[in-house]
Amino acid sequence: MREFSIPVLVDVPESANLADTVFSRAEQQPDLVVIRRQDGDSWAPVTARDFRDQVAALAKGLIAAGVEPGDRVALMSRTRYEWTLIDYAVWAAGAVTVPIYETSSVEQVRWILTDSGAKAAFAELDGHVETIREAMPELKHLWQVTDLPLAEADVPDSELEARRSAPVGADLATIVYTSGTTGRPKGCRITHDNLLFTARNVAFGPLDPLFNDRSASALLFLPLAHIFARVIQVVFVETGAVLAHTPNMKNVAPDLASFQPSFLLGVPRVFEKVYNGAEQKATADGKGKIFAKAAEVAIAHSRDGSHRFLHWVFDKLVYGKLRAATGGRLTAAVCGGSALGERLGHFFRGVGIEVYEGYGLTETTAPCSVNMPGGNKVGTVGKPFPGVTLRIAEDGEVLAKGRHIFDGYWNNPAATAEAVDAEGWYHTGDVGELDSDGYLRITGRKKEILVTAAGKNVAPAPLEDVIRAHPLISQAMVVGENRPFVGALVTLDPDALAQTPLSDVEIHAAVQSAIDAANLTVSRAEQIKKFTILDIDLTEESGHLTPTLKIKRNLVLRDFAPQIEALYS
């Protein structure tokens, strides 16, 4: 199949803007708890009225400080309640939010602030304040997130109402800078309509059962500077389901246990870590064989409903404990960013937590397609959500069209013209295929296709996904451009090594088994012939991963050139 589309389900009015729901819900359902704010070990309720009042107060503060309609206001913070509060206050003041990853360097921050023309900024930690001050000393307004100007400013309600209601769907809501796996980040112009159209057609469409139950709740820990978490934030505000935040992605387990969400948003590495951690704990407790059998049964049961009795037994012994570790109420999760892998998808469904994979980019306001309750085809990234059309070009590239497509790159018309053609199709750069039911499967990245010296095209991502699924492995990067064969760089997971100390021979054998598993998925010419284990991990802190844990291939190729050369010497 070359093209598939789903009709629009929710036709968002052209006059609608993102702040509308905050103010209308406060009038209609003032006592509805819409957010729970972390307060020590508890989660304090924030009602629709509370949230509206704080948004209004902060918006008045911005207006009093001289922020005009359309002005850009930067926000550098971890994921926390104030992130959402500031976002909606900026919109209520008629301005534009410019998110900055909290791990960004001074040079990256300087580029974003100057390119966007930011007039003011919010920063969370003292280090963030210092970074912004160093990046742009002349910035007039810099407020700290922990000390927001929430006191009533001398701004009449009528002025706030005029500002709040003035933006329409076509107006700019945010400039989201791409993570920049290659080159300098580009600012994606995302409108009010982009976010509202996407959020409402996803929330009241394929994922309606996840968000429109009165007991629905989510704990956000992915960075809100990324469009993926940002859209979920808007979804929860639009539906009135309960949203909570936690700033520490690495130590999210205690917050999951105490908040007890019904829904989770994650990237594949999060689910890999959950699986690997459970496997390592079982092995350390002398129950490794039981866990292995339980995993095998969960996967088989998810695939075809087999092993019913064993599945019931393991639900009591193993699966229930896994669910309890996430708070006991979690039944669903949405995963994006890269491929989860069929095995993990079936494992989690088998233990009672269904993971719905989706696909999208910053330029498509996050999702283009998503799996759905009652129609989850594990191993695919789902069908287009309502109002979206997907097409597979002659060269296999995935093209997308719909109201979710961004408004172009900020200050970069040449890049916009390259990305969106004259017919309005956005060229994703990803290679994929649509099956007969309209489900999309991503098979590679167009610009990341390696061509060996023998002229063989090799897609690195599918091989890397299989290798990285091994519990001992942290990251993997396939190499081989203009080389005689395909090789791989591999890093080890320090937590896994600490749990199960191994000799060098055992480590090499374990990595070889992961390489062998990946090689079974491709032709002989595409198989990895040699690998090397790096003596450091590839992390965001080392500069080799983006904040969404994607490998910066150009930097890895540069920094580990000697190790790559050694593969071919």
The residue-averaged pLDDT of 233-246 equals 97
Residue 10 has a pLDDT of 96
Residue 272 has a pLDDT of 85
What is the percent of the chain where pLDDT is above 70? 99
| Alpha carbon distance 150, 82 (integer Å) | 11
- Asked whether 474 and 492 are in contact (CB, 8 A), the reply is yes
Quick one: fold of 449-568?
Answer: GMP Synthetase; Chain A, domain 3 (3.30.300)
Looking at domain 17-167+214-261, its CATH class is alpha beta
- Asked whether 317 and 297 are in contact (CB, 8 A), the reply is no
Residue 496 has a pLDDT of 85
Alpha-carbon dihedral sign for residues 222, 226, 232, 236:
positive
| Alpha carbon distance 332, 330 (integer Å) | 6
Residue 248 has a pLDDT of 77
Query: How high is the mean pLDDT of the chain?
Result: 93
Neighbouring-strand partners of residue 335: 266, 357
pLDDT at 2 over 70: yes
What's the CA angle centered on 20, arms 16 and 25, to 5 degrees? 135
Residue 213 has a pLDDT of 85
CB neighbourhood size of 562 (10 A): 8
Task: Say whether 449-568 and 265-446 share the same fold.
Answer: no
Taking alpha carbons only, the member of 218, 190, 285, 206 closest to residue 500 is 285
CA 350 to chain centre: 24
Neighbouring-strand partners of residue 99: 75
Element (H, E) at 196: helix 192-203
Total residues belonging to the chain: 569
Taking alpha carbons only, the member of 276, 357, 340, 280 closest to residue 549 is 340
The residue-averaged pLDDT of 372-391 equals 96
| Alpha carbon distance 469, 343 (integer Å) | 9
Coil, helix or strand at residue 102: coil
Taking alpha carbons only, the member of 342, 343, 345, 347 closest to residue 318 is 347
Taking alpha carbons only, the member of 471, 468, 465 closest to residue 277 is 471
What's the CA angle centered on 171, arms 207 and 59, to 5 degrees? 90
| Alpha carbon distance 127, 98 (integer Å) | 18
| Alpha carbon distance 216, 329 (integer Å) | 10
Q: Give per-residue pLDDT as tens, 60-73.
A: 999 999 999 999 99
Q: Give per-residue pLDDT as tens, 15-35.
A: 999 999 999 999 999 999 999
Please report, for the chain, the start and end positions of each structural domain, with discontinuous segments joined by +.
17-167+214-261, 265-446, 449-568
| Alpha carbon distance 298, 293 (integer Å) | 9
pLDDT at 334 over 90: yes
pLDDT at 448 over 90: no
pLDDT at 151 over 90: no
Element (H, E) at 98: strand 96-100
CB neighbourhood size of 405 (10 A): 19
Phi/psi at 119 (nearest 5 deg)? Answer: -95, -25
Most confident by average pLDDT, 334-343, 444-453, 503-512: 503-512
Pick the CATH number of 265-446 from 3.90.1150.10, 1.10.10.10, 3.40.50.12780, 3.40.47.10: 3.40.50.12780
pTM above 0.75, yes or no: yes
Element (H, E) at 218: strand 217-220
Q: Give per-residue pLDDT as tens, 454-471.
A: 777 788 888 998 999 898
| Alpha carbon distance 92, 90 (integer Å) | 5
The residue-averaged pLDDT of 317-343 equals 90
Of residues 450 and 141, more confidently modeled? 141
Q: Give per-residue pLDDT as tens, 476-526.
A: 999 998 888 999 999 999 888 888 788 999 999 999 999 999 998 887 888
The first and second tokens of residue 47, run together, are 């009602």
- Asked whether 13 and 392 are in contact (CB, 8 A), the reply is no
